[in-house]
Amino acid sequence: MRDTVCLMKDRTVYSLLEEAVANYGDKPALYEPAQGRTWRPHSWVEYKRAVEEVAAGLCELGIQPGDIVALDSETRFEFYIADLGVQVCGAVAAALYTSYPPADHVKTLRACDPRAVFVENPKALAALKSAAEPPLDTIWILLTGSDDETETLDGLRARGRRALDADPTLPAKLKERVHADDFAILYLTSGATGEPKMGLVTHASIVANVDMGREVVPIGPEDCSIAFLPSAHITQRMAMQMFPIRCGMPVYFSEGLSRLPHELKSIRPTFLVAPPRVWERMHASIRTEIMKKGALTQRIFYIALGLGAEAAKRRRYGKGVPAWMQSGLNLADRLVFHKIRERLGGRLRMAISGAAPLGKDLADFYAAIGMPIHEGYGLTEGGIVALNPYGKTRSGSIGKPMPRVEMKIAADGELIFRSPTMFAGYYRDSVATSAVLQDGWLHTGDIAEIDADGYVYITGRKKEVLVSSNGKKIFPALVEGLFKMEPLIHQVLLVGDKQPYVTALLTLNPSMAETLKGMDEWKGKPLAEVVKSPPVMTEVKRIVGRVNKQLAPFEQIRKYHVLDRDFTIEEGEITPTMKVRRARVIENHRRIIGELYVGRGEDKV
């Protein structure tokens, strides 16, 4: 179908919905989970109408253009229509990370002072209210459920319907009250390198970003995907909420991570966006299953993987695959690879990884099995600005700049760019804004390289570079990424700034630990005992040794400690998007780290 988009200058999020209705009409837009493991479809016409009802209802409640309206909810149908309804009425939508405790939410709400707050259910509302002392002065709206004193989404939509029925010109009035340079979203940054900040993004920035995506991602109404990432994160908001409106792709809503494997097989998505942790877990699961098989099955798997890797390498550099190799590859696909792809439904045309670095070896694995991962790059302050071209992925690279994005490497190695997708600034923080926006260029804080073909490679974070006591620079992300192919290892944090050598804190995958030879005695035991078991200690030492062989001597891990728990959000050690807060981890484990440098660390390589 021809993409009929009005190329007017003052396009907003509401314009995207209008264009979607014009292009796709009664075709399905969203699939909401229903009783009996079924799905209730909503067409583009119905989607737009629901958003208009929310927007009109908010206007009836007195919400004005520029007001902030917060949302505290997991990703679901009700979030989508409430979020867009906020933006269509001219207010600014501020989504909260649901994994944070209520006290943190209250702190954020006080900082942005919302006129209204959408809350997922009565239980979440009660938790927020109990954590707020003195009470927050705001309008509470329940997305699901009800109580005796709180406005509900259904009630809000009913208000909106009455207003729309009374005034047929109301949609046009809603459109007139919002302009491209108005603020649409207030993002709460995850705070991986410090205290979370709030970034303001305009309608123009959102529209520019989805227009870019339309040019490079070959997705349309015949495709489908499933949404399961947190809606507070830009990857979910742009790639799985805004972009599908632009290209007409229907989206299913997952009922939760526990249901996701079953949903993938039944929905059979053709487009999937997931963070590296999802791809890592799938790889670890495959490796664990293979290790339980007999020697012949393992041999067939690794021969097939080697063949697939060589074929993927040849394709990457434009070389043909010889007939003998293709015959072997066809056999490998029938025996091995198609079974792996079936876990994701078997129809996946474009798999995307974002929100954190994927890891070169992991990307090579998926390319070898015929499911190349298109790694992308984005940030709250700049939108989604790089992506591996469709069918032309480069392992370890974040891809090429999106159309109309200009990237370059600053004198100190930092990646900087300018683009129509950039944010307007941090909320009420001009000092922080001027630190990242300089002369029209956004300073990402990432150290990067750009090759002769225009592919960009992130090598580390400026703030996270370790400088040893002898002046050598170590980029933790590069070293930590080498562990992503090791199913036994869950999390890694490198230490070594101003120290004579590099050390590491490691956490384990307990289910993988139990599959190791000789672990029968420790099955079902507490993790504190499992990590000290001889089979685990021996295997971890082998893994660290394998990683060290790929490193320069000054980068190698001399000592390490295996923790008896994961880094957690509750301890402030990781963000809701699973980024490690290095400073907090180091602070929480200062005693253990100290012992690694005074000769008492028990784990040596």
Same fold, 13-179+217-266 and 276-462: yes
Please list, residue by residue across 294-324, b when 16 or more beta carbons sit within 10 angstroms of its beta carbon and e when fewer do: eeeeeebbeebbebbeebbeebeeeeebeee
Residue 64: DSSP 8-state: -
pLDDT, position 2? 45
Contacts from 328-335 at CB under 8 Å and sequence distance 24+? 332/303, 332/304, 332/307, 332/308, 333/370, 335/300, 335/304
* Percent residues over pLDDT 70 in the chain: 96
Class for the domain spanning 13-179+217-266 = alpha beta
Question: pLDDT of 154-187, one tens digit each?
Answer: 999 999 999 999 999 999 999 999 999 999 999 9
Whole-Å CA distances, 35 to 39, 88, 262, 480: 8, 30, 16, 43
- Location of structure tokens 């253009």: 65
pLDDT, position 187? 92
Judged by average pLDDT, the poorest of 467-471, 534-538, 590-594, 596-600 is 596-600
Beta-ladder partners of 116? 69, 139
Largest interatomic CA distance in the chain: 78
Judged by average pLDDT, the poorest of 113-117, 284-288, 349-353, 398-402 is 284-288
**Per-residue confidence at 290, pLDDT binned at 50, 70, 90?**
confident
Question: pLDDT of 206-215, one tens digit each?
Answer: 999 999 999 9
Judged by average pLDDT, the poorest of 23-37, 227-241, 471-485 is 471-485
pLDDT, position 582? 85
> What span, in angstroms and rounded, lies between the C-alpha atoms of 237 and 225?
14
Average pLDDT, the chain: 89
Strands 38-43, 28-34: pairing is antiparallel
Residue 194 has pLDDT above 70, yes or no: no
Beta-ladder partners of 42? 30
Q: Is CATH 3.40.50.2020 what the domain over 276-462 is classified as, yes or no?
A: no
* CB 360 within 8 Å of CB 375: no
| Nearest alpha-carbon partner for 276 in 235, 305, 311, 309 | 235
pLDDT, position 8? 61
| Phi, then psi, of 169 in degrees rounded to 5 | -90, 0
Alpha helices in 141-251 (DSSP H): 153-166, 170-176, 203-216, 234, 243-247
Residue 192 has pLDDT above 60, yes or no: no
Q: Residue 541 in 3-state DSSP?
A: helix
| Phi, then psi, of 224 in degrees rounded to 5 | -160, 160
Residue 257 has pLDDT above 90, yes or no: no
Chain centroid to Cα 149, Å, comes to 36
Residue 602 has pLDDT above 60, yes or no: no
* CB 250 within 8 Å of CB 227: no
Strands 441-450, 151-152: pairing is unpaired
pLDDT, position 604? 63
Mean pLDDT of 131-142: 94
> What span, in angstroms and rounded, lies between the C-alpha atoms of 326 and 310?
11
pLDDT, position 474? 86
Mean pLDDT of 334-354: 88
Question: pLDDT of 527-541, one tens digit each?
Answer: 888 889 999 999 999
Residue boundaries of the structural domains of the chain:
13-179+217-266, 276-462, 466-604
**Per-residue confidence at 421, pLDDT binned at 50, 70, 90?**
very high
Residue 515 has pLDDT above 80, yes or no: yes
> What span, in angstroms and rounded, lies between the C-alpha atoms of 602 and 569?
27
User: Which range scores top for mean pLDDT: 165-179, 338-352, 449-463?
Assistant: 165-179
Please list, residue by residue across 207-229, b when 16 or more beta carbons sit within 10 angstroms of its beta carbon and e when fewer do: bbbbbbbbeebebbbebbbbbbb
Question: pLDDT of 300-323, one tens digit each?
Answer: 888 888 888 888 888 877 787 788
Question: pLDDT of 557-571, one tens digit each?
Answer: 999 999 999 998 888
Q: Output 411 or 602, whichever has higher pLDDT.
A: 411
Question: pLDDT of 481-498, one tens digit each?
Answer: 888 888 889 999 999 888
> What span, in angstroms and rounded, lies between the C-alpha atoms of 456 and 571?
34
The CATH number of the domain covering residues in 466-604: 3.30.300.30
